Amino acid sequence: MLMKRLISIVVLLPLLALAQDKDSVMIKKFSDEILRNGTAYDLLYQLTKQVGGRLAGSPQFAKAELWGKAALEHAGADEVILQECMLPHWVRGGKDKAVITELDKKKTTRALDVLALGNSMGSNGKTITAEVLMVADFAELERRKDEVKGKIVYYNYGFNPTNVMPFVSYGQVGIYRRSGPSRAAKYGAVAVMIRSLTESTANDPHTGAMAYTDSLPKIPAVAVGPRDADYLWSIKTGFKVSLQTNGKYLPDTIGHNIIGVLKGAEFPDEIITIGGHLDSWDVNEGAHDDGAGIVHTIEVLRAMKALGYRPKHTIHFVLFANEENGLRGGLKYAEKAKENKEKHIFALESDEGGFTPRGFGFSFKDKSKLAKVQSWLPLLRPYGTDRMIDEGGGADIGPLASIFGTPMSGIIPDPQRYFDIHHARSDVFENVNKRELLLGAVNITGLIYLIDQRGL
C-alpha cells in the first residue's frame, strides 16, 4: 500500500505539475492576446455610439441584433444562430416630468429630475397634481395607509452606505422599485416616486423594471435623482407635485437571441454557455449594463480563435435578447435547450459591468465542485481573480440552471462604481476603462478554458 501510494505520488505529481504548467502557459497566452489585440473596447464603442440605447422591442434593438450577428461571425464563430423570441415592447413615450408646486406662499415651483420606471404606465397625456405623502419605507406606508388616498407616495428608502458591497444594498432596496407602485396603489395613491437606487453623488435618476399587481390600478411611477431626493426629504411636507409620464406597451415584436457556436472537438454534445444581454435601457448607451458583458462574450470567442484553440466542449456565445424588462431571452434559450434535449454542463454570465475583475461567484448543487474550481485560484490570481465564492450566476442563465440544474457562474467585477451608472443616463462608453474591460475578458477566458480542459 505504501509502495503503491508512493508510486502514485511519484507518477502523478509531475503529471499534475505538468498540467498546471501547461494550463498556466495557455492562460498567459490568452491574457497576452487579449491585452495586446483585444477588440472588446472598440466593439463596445460601436455598440454604444453607433447602436446606442437598445431596449427590447425598439428599432435600436433590431439594429443591435444585426451588429451582434456580424460581430460573432467576424470573431470566428463556426455558425451564428438567430433564436427567435417574442419581445415586450415598452416605450417611454416622451419626456418624464415632475415639478414641485405650492412650496411656499409665493407658489415657487421647482423641477425634479425624474425617469419613469420601466414597464410603468403613463398619465395618459394628463398632468397629475397631488399632495405628496413622504414615507421612509413600507412600514411607514402601512402605518399611514389611511393618509394615502388621492396622494402621490414618495419612498425614501435608499442604499445603506455601510454595506461594503453595493449589490447587498441593491438587494435590500430593489423591492421598492419593483413593488412600490402597486403597494401604494392598494391604498389609493395616484402615483409613486422613489429615491433612485444608487449612492451616486450626481443627480441622474435611475430607471429600472417594475411590475404591477394586475388587480390594482396601474399608477404612474418615477425614480427621482438622488440630490433631488435629498431635497424632497428635507422639505418633507406641505407641497404638491405635478407629474407627467408617457409609458405604454406596444404589441410584442419578434426578436432573437444571437448565439455564436464553437463546436467541441471531443464532446460536441456538451455545451458551455457564455453570455450577456444585448438589450439595455433606453435612456443611456448600455455601456456597462450590459455592453460590457456582450463584448466580453465576443472577446472570449475572438481570443480562442486567434490562438487556434479548439475547445473540447461546444461553447455557445450568447447575446441574450431581453433581460431588463422581461427575461424573455433567457427563458427562450432554456426552453429551446429543453426542447432540443441539449446537455448544458456550465453557464457563465457577465452582467455586473466592465470594471476590474475580482473573481467569480458559482451556484453548484454539488458543493464539492466549488472546492474543485477554487483549487484553480492560483492559475487565475495573476489576472485579478482573488475570490471564487459560493453563489453566483446571472438572470439570463437562471432559467437554464432551474431546468437542468446546470452549474452557473457570474463574473464579479469591482462593484463600487456600478450603481453610479446603473440604469442612469451616465452608463455611457466614456465611463468604461479599456484595461478593466479587457481584464474581465482575460479572467472569463481563463475560467472557461479550465472548465473546458478539466471538466467539472
Site residues for a second copy per CB under 8 A? 31-32, 35-36, 41, 161-162, 164, 166, 199, 201, 356, 358, 382-384, 386-387, 414, 416-417, 420, 433-436, 439, 442
Nearer to a second copy, 36 or 107 (CB): 36
The answer to whether the beta carbons of residues 249 and 221 sit under 8 Å apart is: no
Helix or strand or coil: residue 206? Answer: coil
Nearer to a second copy, 256 or 296 (CB): 296
The answer to whether the beta carbons of residues 57 and 255 sit under 8 Å apart is: yes
Nearer to a second copy, 284 or 325 (CB): 284
The verdict on whether 323 is a catalytic residue reads yes
**Alpha helices, DSSP H only, in 76-137?**
none
Residue 31: CB minimum distance to a second copy, A:
7
Distance CA 393, CA 167 (A): 13
Q: Which amino acid is at 381?
A: R
Residue 435: CB minimum distance to a second copy, A:
5
- Identify which of 128, 144, 143, 145 has the alpha carbon closest to the alpha carbon of residue 187: 145
Radius of gyration of the chain (CA): 24
Nearer to a second copy, 49 or 435 (CB): 435
Residue 120: CB minimum distance to a second copy, A:
29
Residue 38: CB minimum distance to a second copy, A:
9
- The helix (H) or strand (E) run that includes residue 255 is strand 248-262
In this structure, the number of other CB atoms found within 10 A of the CB of residue 174 comes to 13
Residues 6 or more apart whose Cβ sits within 8 Å of residue 162: none
Residue with cell 470567442: 301
Distance CA 141, CA 127 (A): 24
Residue 216: CB minimum distance to a second copy, A:
36
Provide the 8-state DSSP code for 122.
Answer: -
Residues 6 or more apart whose Cβ sits within 8 Å of residue 303: 30, 33, 34, 38, 309, 441, 445
Distance CA 54, CA 277 (A): 11
- Identify which of 259, 442, 290 has the alpha carbon closest to the alpha carbon of residue 354: 290
- Distance, CA of 235 to chain centre: 35
- Distance, CA of 262 to chain centre: 24
Catalytic choice (323, 324, 349, 352): 323
Nearer to a second copy, 41 or 360 (CB): 41
Residues in the chain: 456
Nearer to a second copy, 212 or 419 (CB): 419
Distance CA 394, CA 361 (A): 10
Residue 348: CB minimum distance to a second copy, A:
21
Distance CA 297, CA 82 (A): 16
Distance CA 311, CA 265 (A): 6
Nearer to a second copy, 103 or 377 (CB): 377
Residue 443: CB minimum distance to a second copy, A:
10
The answer to whether the beta carbons of residues 173 and 198 sit under 8 Å apart is: no
Nearer to a second copy, 27 or 85 (CB): 27
Residue 397: CB minimum distance to a second copy, A:
26
The answer to whether the beta carbons of residues 290 and 350 sit under 8 Å apart is: yes
Question: Active-site residues: which are they?
Answer: 323
